[in-house]
Amino acid sequence: MAKAGKFAEIKTSIEAGLANMGKWYQRTDTSAAYFISLVLNPAYKLAYFEDKWDDEWLSPSASGKGEYFRLQYISTYFDLKSIQTDIDPTLLLTLSASYSKSWMMSTVLTCCQLERKKRDPQQELKEYLDSPLIVDLHDDGLIRWWGHHSTQYPILSKMACDYLAIQGSAVSAERAFLSGAITGTHCCNRLSPDIFEALQLLKSTYRNGRVILSEPCLDATMFFNTADDVE
């Protein structure tokens, strides 16, 4: 794009933008959290990396992210295994008035525990990656999805709770500037810096409950000269 003749006038800006984007894109190499978070999204999994990344980037020896994910997966598996305790089947008697139902539930529970101990820990990961992508899954339904599949994927759901809870931005004050988009640009882009700062502080204190408007503090009609102006 920067080499195209029709963009010659803004070539410098394009190159500067690409350089800045490349700088931040390379920051993902410093942490595997970005990689793992995408893999733990059932709408993406490995599809993005397999389509956009070169083969050498996907190799564990090159990026190390795949190997790190595997180590984290195994570590989580042993953590869960160490805290799992066998539930006394007799406790189920207190959960149901029907003895026959409690007896059946205790039998099924025992079989499930034996099956879990025999199961290959890598099988869960393979089943998850081989399952179809949930392309219509929205971001606000991601936590709900993992909650519904915590029994099917206990190891991955535990990892999802750890990694998907990571804050996207370390700058919490960024939200204040995002909330001021209308104030600063869309409607009143001629505000002075002092007025803009005061408005942002006022909105923040009001939103946090530090300022409570129990009665009207300002009569808007004082800014108009005649009744016709108010209409």
Among 108, 137, 163, which residue terminates a domain?
163
**Confidence band of 6 (pLDDT split at 50, 70, 90):** confident
**Mean pLDDT, range 91-114, rounded to an integer:** 62
- Shared domain for 23 and 70, answered yes or no, is yes
Number of domains in the chain: 2
* DSSP assignment string, 95-118: G-S-HHHHHHHHHHHHHHHHHHHH
- pLDDT per position as a tens digit, 43-52: 988 888 888 7
**Mean pLDDT, range 156-181, rounded to an integer:** 65
**Mean pLDDT, range 127-155, rounded to an integer:** 85
Q: Is residue 202 a part of any domain in this protein?
A: yes
- Shared domain for 53 and 86, answered yes or no, is yes
- Shared domain for 27 and 140, answered yes or no, is yes
- Shared domain for 88 and 191, answered yes or no, is no
Among 142, 163, 184, which residue terminates a domain?
163
Among 134, 163, 192, which residue terminates a domain?
163
Q: Is residue 168 a part of any domain in this protein?
A: no
- Shared domain for 21 and 123, answered yes or no, is yes
- pLDDT per position as a tens digit, 20-64: 877 777 776 677 778 888 888 999 888 888 887 776 666 654 455
- Shared domain for 216 and 120, answered yes or no, is no
In whole angstroms, what is the distance from residue 118 CA to residue 128 CA? 19
126 Cβ contact partners less than 8 Å away, ≥ 6 residues apart:
none
**Mean pLDDT, range 146-169, rounded to an integer:** 81
pLDDT confidence of residue 62: 47
The tokens describing 124, both together, are 């869960």
Q: Is residue 215 a part of any domain in this protein?
A: yes
- Shared domain for 32 and 73, answered yes or no, is yes
Q: Is residue 5 a part of any domain in this protein?
A: no
Through-space distance between the first and last CA atoms of the chain, rounded to whole angstroms: 52
User: Is 180 in contact with 196 (CB distance < 8 Å)?
Assistant: yes
Nearest to 18 by CA among 3, 34, 33, 35: 3
- Shared domain for 182 and 137, answered yes or no, is no
- Shared domain for 23 and 95, answered yes or no, is yes
Give the three-state DSSP class for 67: helix
In terms of residue numbers, what domain contains 121?
11-163
- pLDDT per position as a tens digit, 63-98: 555 666 766 776 776 666 554 544 444 444 444 445
pLDDT confidence of residue 61: 45
CB atoms within 10 A of CB 110: 13
